[in-house]
Structure 1
């Protein structure tokens, strides 16, 4: 099965990376892929393609872009430079402004200024969370209502870190969402839990206490509210264990979590639940 990949614009100035199985007659469920702070980078594009290869129409909305254009400090080369800089620090120092400033002195002056500006922007995204949530919701609506191959089919969400939090938030916001996968994302506010209708699946690292220590309470709140939530904590895994472009990558946790993810998507986006076009075929999905 071939794949078609393209950057698209949709909705009200939204843009994103869309990968879908080839064949206009093929209908398939949709998956919204929600980025880490690094944007729709090579890793997120690869995950989007993997999901399309499993038989889904996958869309990664560019949370940083408006009308297809990002601010200069959040363009991909600048984000990659910031990632390389932060990868050279202990993760405990990432949010320590003094430690970052000291490490920045080792960079050439121009590069230092650019990295400092980009890192500052990445650690000051809180005011944009509502805008990001709108973009996630617009991506789900596009897949469900507009994109020809997935229109009328079920849509689920999957996100990492920043995107993991948005995936859970989308489940609270979008009553039509069929499921949400959370990779090491912070839980939503307690008052959002009552609105969650879709089943949730979460993956966390034991070496990521800032995120993982909040999960048992989140699970208890969901259970008390009668919601469905299954989660896995990998003992030797840090934050971002799924990202195979970073030193945090842990192959065993990544392999296991991806197998669980595909099984979950197969269940919540069951082919028999999706309408078929005349002459079309149902979606293909698997654990490969």
Structure 2
């Protein structure tokens, strides 16, 4: 079987994958459409295997890294969903209280990649908390397909309130300075925008390719924003011009970067949508922004 390289697949395949992982098409339709691209030694199964995340191979910071203290912590869901749980991570040799970052997952629960991202941020000198919106339903189930199905069963506003409760939990944590920001990816990017609207004392928000809030809510934003977009991500980018116009009209503090030639999910190093140069630059900008805004 031919070994697939990123450049072997055209943009239509990545657009199909985006539609699939965001539930615009079901798995059967996705697989059927992939058959048109199974040429030149490629098979549908090999393309599918290539596109799906490979968490173990891409892990940058191991769960048992001895530079970090990581543990799962529960807190109350404010909307009656019972308990929520998240991964709390901070450097072992912290000394003083640390600024905090809420890390918000994609549309499939707290998978190993987002836990890895939370650990990466902690190594930069933050206390991070990565909640799992699926915990009231049993938690991330081990596969993204199942995770997406589960997350669709939850009400989006209830999940937003759960992430806001996570912010409150982290802000009051004895090892946190009280200065807390949020970073999120895809669904998490949308939640990051929504938290900027709904949390008046949020210190910073960094949405990665996240959906925009209602334009009427933009005046409520107090937190400075750092927004990352992928040039090829037509679905999310469609709403950006109006959002930017509203941010400007309301004199909000924001920076936005559109990374050329990359797809939605370019920061996620577990799939072939990953773009190393763009991901590293976006992450450096993110950490520098948090260090500036959170102190």
The TM-score range, normalised by the shorter chain, is: 0.7 to 0.9
> Following the alignment from structure 2 to structure 1, what is the Cα–Cα distance between the partners of residues 132 and 171?
18
In the alignment, the residues of structure 2 paired with residue 75 and residue 249 of structure 1 have an alpha-carbon distance, to the nearest angstrom, of 22
Tell me which of 203, 206, 209 is aligned to 2:231: 206
- 2:113 is aligned with 1:43: yes
Q: How far has the Cα of 1:148 moved from its partner?
A: 1.2
Corresponding position of 1:141: 168
Match of 2:263, SS state, is coil
> Per-residue deviation at 1:23?
4.6
In structure 2, C-alpha distance between the alignment counterparts of 1:193 and 1:60, rounded to whole Å: 25
Query: Per-residue CA shift, 1:30-63, capped at 9, x if unaligned?
Result: 0000000132111101110011100000000111
1:194-231 Cα offsets, whole Å, 9 max, x none, are: 11000001111111101012112111101101111211
SS in 2 for 1:247: coil
Report the counterpart of residue 7 of structure 1 in structure 2: 72
Q: TM-score, normalising length from structure 1?
A: 0.74
SS at match of 1:44: helix
* Aligned position for 1:85: none
Q: Output the CA distance in 1 between the equivalents of 2:97 and 2:119.
A: 17
Distance 1:120 1:50 in 2: 28
Shift of 1:182: 0.5
Q: Residues 30 and 143 of structure 1 are in contact (CA less than 8 Å); yes or no, is this contact kept in structure 2? A: yes
Asked whether the equivalents of residues 110 and 140 of structure 2 are also in contact (C-alpha less than 8 Å), the reply is no
1:154 aligned counterpart, secondary structure? strand
Q: Using CA pairs below 8 Å that are at least 6 residues apart, which structure has the higher relative contact order? A: 1
1:25, CA displacement in angstroms? 4.7
Q: Residue in 2 aligned with 1:266?
A: 291
Tell me which residue corresponds to 1:252. Answer: 277
CA contact (8 A) 1:199 1:229 kept: yes
Q: Is the 8 A contact 1:11 1:142 kept in 2?
A: no
- Which residue is equivalent to 2:123? 53
Tell me whether 1:224 sits opposite 2:294 in the alignment.
no
What are the equivalent positions in structure 2 for 1:179-218 lying under 5 Å apart? 179-218=204-243
Equivalent residues, number: 225
TM-score normalized by the length of structure 2? 0.72
Distance apart, 1:24 and its partner CA: 7.2
Structure 2 unaligned regions, length at least 5: 1-65, 78-82
Distance between the aligned counterparts of 1:231 and 1:26, measured in 2?
32
Q: Distance in 1 between matches of 2:112 and 2:155?
A: 23
What is the CA–CA distance in structure 1 between the aligned matches of 2:109 and 2:131, rounded to whole Å? 9
Aligned 8 A contact 2:183 2:205 in 1 = yes
Unaligned runs of 5+ in 1: 83-114, 271-288
